[in-house]
Amino acid sequence: MRPGGAGSTSGPTIRSYCDQLDATWTTSLEIVRDLGGWAWAVPIKLNNLADFASELGRPGEAERHARQTLELSSEIGDRITTAFSLAALAVAARARGDHELAGRLWGSIEAEEERTFLGQWPAYRRFYAGRAADAASPAFERARNSGKGLTLEEAVTLALEPSGPA
């Protein structure tokens, strides 16, 4: 899809928009940090950077941002942003071929959806599902079912393990 409309070949591509947004959010994050930080804004900005990095084909960078998001959001008890960061890590895991980790993380998010309100998550779920979920992979489906048995805290521990995403 191009910003100029369906089938349009003029104007910037989605990739160039992601590049621009990545630069803008990076600057925004630097400003917030320079001003002393804001416990809720920093993780959200980092997770947006993880999403842009994934879209730009930089899974290592996406994992790094998502792990930072996960550490900060779980530290302040922000379950909503924690779920978003787990989704970003599931996307990165799938991109590097780790269907088992992607499935376990995705299953843990599905379980959390059933347990509690996750703010705007329902509006973004499809975006992440299309990138993280791999229904064609038996390993993903087995791991997804296993992940449904995890608490959010257990999923955070799993995602932050040294053997998890780098």
**Which domains does the chain show, CATH number per domain?**
14-160 (1.25.40)
Q: What integer pLDDT is reported at residue 7 of this predicted model?
A: 40
The answer to whether 116 and 153 have CB atoms below 8 angstroms apart is: no
For residue 72, what are its two tokens? 């900060």
Cα distances (Å, whole numbers) of residue 42 to 28, 65, 66, 151, 158 = 9, 11, 12, 24, 22
5: β partners: 2
For residue 87, what are its two tokens? 């989704």
> To the nearest whole percent, how much of the chain has pLDDT over 70?
86
2: β partners: 5
How do the pLDDT tens digits run along the chain, 166 residues long? 223 333 434 456 766 766 777 677 677 777 777 787 777 788 988 998 899 899 889 999 999 999 999 999 999 999 999 999 999 999 999 999 999 999 999 999 999 999 999 999 999 999 999 999 887 889 999 999 999 999 999 999 999 997 544 4
The answer to whether 14 and 3 have CB atoms below 8 angstroms apart is: yes
Q: What integer pLDDT is reported at residue 14 of this predicted model?
A: 66
Q: Where are the alpha helices (DSSP H) in 12-120?
A: 14-34, 41-55, 59-75, 79-95, 99-115
